[in-house]
Amino acid sequence: MSVIVYTENWDGKFKKSSYELVSYAHALASELGVETIAISIGQVPEDQLNALANYGANKVLCVKNPELAVLDNAAYASAIARAAKANNAQVVVFANNFTGKAVAPRVAVKLEAGMANSVTTLPLSFSPFVVQKNIFNGKAQGNLQINSNIKVLSLAQNSFGVKESSVSLTIENFDAQLDSSKFNTELIEKNTVSGKIILTDAELVVSGGRGMKSPDNWGPLEELAAILGAGTACSRPVADEGWRPHSEHVGQTGKVIAPNLYIALGISGAIQHLAGVSSSKVIVAVNTDPEAPFFEAADYGILGDVNKILPKLVEAAKAFKAHS
């Protein structure tokens, strides 16, 4: 019996979110009294794999079938489902991220499992098995009872946190026995922006809205983000106007993020925007309008023209970094 957790790697490395996921799976496995087994796909150095022990993984299954070189949703699902069956998994845990969304639903069907995504807590009860998850983009929480024998969960980012718990870990290779003729996702081109902080991973996010007045005013915002090591984001009108790329748009129809810190500069806080950021741990709102809804959702607020306030923040951030 086991809890299986799919730990994704990026160029052979795990991220904090991977550790959060293992921490969660371990907590779940402890409650169930079973093993925590991580699945890793592709080439990952041994020191990286060993690090998973620090968060409670008892075993890592390394899957290196060539069919998995490119993300083919069906192939990944086959591999993970096979591992889950071979290890008598009770629960399979994914991150509620790009890969999780692509693969978890297929795994659920293969295992005839009920699925809950964007889960925010450990199960409220195990019999029946009930988890809490975000609904309406975090505007409410739903308690979902899963009735199948096996359960598939995907965890909302930053909802559980990284928890250390050292166990001893074994590394095993696992042959997923894939039939290559069945999988044919053809990768034609890959475009990645290097060096840039990936918005959905970012711990800190600095975001601009229409109150920035002009796309030419983004310099100080980017400078602040660079000093803090933050990702940059924007509101929908700004993306629609073409001031910023759509990839930066956060909100109901854009990206949904949950960083530790979200600084909203000149964004009024329309309900659709808040839906994309309300799970952030700390929110700062800067706006000229004292009635801006963002002040209701924020932890810290500054009333004033963002273009006058930004230089002060940049200066303070510089001083802070110089001293720390």
Interactions with another protein, residue window 110-139 (CB under 8 A): 110, 112-118, 130, 132-139
- What HEC string does 34-72 produce? CEEEEEEECCCCHHHHHHHHHHCCCEEEEECCHHHCCCC
The least CB distance from residue 260 to another protein, in Å, is 5
Write the interaction track for another protein spanning residues 44-73; mark x where CB under 8 A is met and - where it is not: --------------------------xxxx
What whole-number distance in Å separates Cα of residue 210 and Cα of residue 219? Answer: 15
DSSP structural state of residue 136: G
The least CB distance from residue 36 to another protein, in Å, is 23
Contacts (CB under 8 A) with another protein, residues 6-45: 10
Question: What pairs with residue 135 in β-bridges?
Answer: 140
Spatial contact of 269 and 294, defined as CB atoms under 8 Å apart:
yes
Q: Is residue 77 involved in binding another protein (CB under 8 A)?
A: yes
Q: Is residue 291 involved in binding another protein (CB under 8 A)?
A: yes
Q: Is residue 84 involved in binding another protein (CB under 8 A)?
A: no
For the record, the structure tokens of 200 come out as: 């959905």
Q: Is residue 141 involved in binding another protein (CB under 8 A)?
A: yes
The least CB distance from residue 258 to another protein, in Å, is 12
What whole-number distance in Å separates Cα of residue 166 and Cα of residue 147? Answer: 32
What whole-number distance in Å separates Cα of residue 44 and Cα of residue 61? Answer: 11
Q: Is residue 278 involved in binding another protein (CB under 8 A)?
A: yes
Write the interaction track for another protein spanning residues 150-179; mark x where CB under 8 A is met and - where it is not: ------------------------------
Q: Is residue 148 involved in binding another protein (CB under 8 A)?
A: yes
Q: Is residue 92 involved in binding another protein (CB under 8 A)?
A: no
- Would you say the C-alpha torsion 206, 210, 215, 217 has a positive or negative sign? negative
- Would you say the C-alpha torsion 71, 80, 200, 246 has a positive or negative sign? positive
Of residues 82, 106, 244, 273, which one binds another protein by CB under 8 A? 106
